[in-house]
């Protein structure tokens, strides 16, 4: 599933191909994915210029003068920039055409979304899907303090508090496991009992882990943007994620797996307390 780093790498990959470019056509090959597509999208966007791209959580935003196109990659979606006229395959649902190139949204499992938010409906940050999102972790100077204050009185496990997304966005299952390992915090610790000092270490770990994933993804950008149809999310080497029974890379203890909120959590019983 695309996590924040993949979405950010996708944004950086498409940005030079779409920013400042005029939409010359929109092709919708079905009525919708997770939700219906705006049926008037071709009329709304054809002839309009993409002024900028942005990302909020896992939503990609294409900003126009008269509103914002929101794209969510869902469970299996990806965007590629391809030469105009390239024949669509079975799971290619939306093309946004820019003259000699097009941006194609492919989504085999169809949990993705393409939505329009008109400027006249208010600030995009107040969109129903965005307004309850937590802070963006990258570049947030007071992330540790927000984590600390946001979890006072919460008995939920720290791993669950991270995944909930209401304090901080983008710390999905993989990155929650990895950043808890790096900050030596046991994933089942009650969030409200983690000290300020430990949240400082956790905040730094979250930022480091996400930045490293984005940097790694940057080197595989061709997979996202290549015209050869290659795609796929980058594989990384992890400290604990998906390593049940394997030796901890720090202390050689056996990595354990537990289930929290129906998601697998991986941790080192010796390094994380």
Residue 263 annotated as catalytic = yes
- Least spacing, CB of residue 245 vs Zn ion, in Å: 13
Lookup result for tokens 């950043």? 179
**Which region, left, alpha or beta, applies to residue 84 given φ > 0 means left and ψ of -120 to 50 means alpha?**
beta
167 token code pair:
């304090």
Q: Is 58 a catalytic site residue?
A: yes
- Smallest gap, in angstroms, from Cβ of residue 248 to Zn ion? 3
Q: Compare residues 227 and 251 and give the one whose CB is closer to Zn ion.
A: 251
Give the contact letters, 198-237, x = binds to Zn ion (CB under 5 A), - = no: ----------------------------------------
- Tell me: does residue 168 bind Zn ion (CB under 5 A): no
Quick check: 248 binds Zn ion (CB under 5 A)? yes
Distance CA 12, CA 89 (A): 25
Active-site residue, from 55, 58, 80, 198 = 58
CB of 167 or CB of 268, closer to Zn ion:
268
Query: Which of 34, 201, 263, 270 is labelled catalytic?
Result: 263
**DSSP string covering 46-95:** TT-B--EEEEETTEEEEEETTEEEEEE-TTT-EEEEEETTPPP-TTEEEE
Does 257 contact Zn ion by CB under 5 A?
no
Question: How far apart, in whole angstroms, are the C-alpha atoms of residue 115 and residue 61?
Answer: 10
270 counts as binding Zn ion under rule CB under 5 A: yes
Residue 2 is among the residues annotated as catalytic for this protein:
yes
The residue (of 168 and 255) whose beta carbon lies closer to Zn ion is 255
Among the candidate windows 5-13, 16-24, 104-112, 249-257, which touches Zn ion by CB under 5 A?
249-257
Asked if 96 interacts with Zn ion (CB under 5 A), we say no
Is there binding between residue 271 and Zn ion (CB under 5 A)?
yes
Give 18 or 271: the residue with its C-beta nearer to Zn ion: 271
* One of 251, 254, 261, 264 touching Zn ion (CB under 5 A): 251
Q: Measuring CA to CA, which residue among 123, 135, 212 is closest to residue 174? A: 212
Q: What kind and span of H or E run contains 8?
A: helix 4-18
| Nearest CA among 69, 85, 49, 173 for reference residue 124 | 69
CA distance 78 to 130: 20
Alpha-carbon distance 178 to 175, whole Å? 5
Binding mask 111-130 toward Zn ion (x if CB under 5 A, else -) reads --------------------
Closest to Zn ion by CB, 69 or 240? 240
CA–chain centroid gap for 62, Å, is 15
Binding site for Zn ion (CB under 5 A): 248, 250-251, 253, 268, 270-271
Catalytic residues: 2-3, 58, 263
């Amino acid at each position: 599933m695309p996590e924040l780093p993949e979405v950010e790498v996708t944004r950086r990959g498409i940005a030079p191909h779409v920013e400042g470019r005029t939409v010359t056509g929109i092709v919708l090959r079905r009525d919708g994915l997770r939700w219906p597509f705006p049926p008037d999208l071709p009329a709304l966007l054809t002839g309009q210029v993409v002024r900028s791209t942005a990302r909020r959580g896992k939503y990609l935003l294409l900003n126009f003068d008269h509103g914002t196109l929101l794209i969510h990659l869902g469970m299996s979606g990806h965007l590629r920039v391809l030469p105009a006229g390239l024949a669509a395959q079975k799971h290619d649902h939306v093309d946004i055409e820019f003259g000699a190139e097009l941006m194609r949204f492919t989504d085999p499992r169809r949990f993705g979304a393409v939505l329009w938010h008109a400027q006249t409906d208010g600030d995009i940050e107040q969109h129903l899907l965005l307004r309850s999102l937590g802070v963006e972790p990258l570049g947030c100077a007071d992330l540790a303090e927000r984590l600390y204050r946001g979890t006072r009185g919460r008995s939920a496990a720290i791993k669950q508090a991270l995944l909930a997304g209401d304090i901080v966005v983008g710390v999905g299952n993989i990155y929650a496991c990895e950043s808890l390992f790096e900050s030596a915090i046991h994933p089942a610790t009650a969030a409200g009992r983690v000290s300020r000092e430990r949240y400082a270490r956790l905040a730094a770990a979250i930022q480091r882990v996400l930045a490293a994933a984005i940097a790694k993804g940057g080197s595989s950008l061709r997979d996202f943007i290549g015209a050869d149809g290659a795609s796929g999310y980058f594989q990384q080497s992890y400290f604990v994620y998906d390593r049940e029974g394997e030796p901890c890379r720090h202390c050689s203890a056996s990595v354990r797996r537990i289930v929290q909120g129906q998601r697998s959590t991986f941790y080192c019983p010796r390094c994380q307390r």
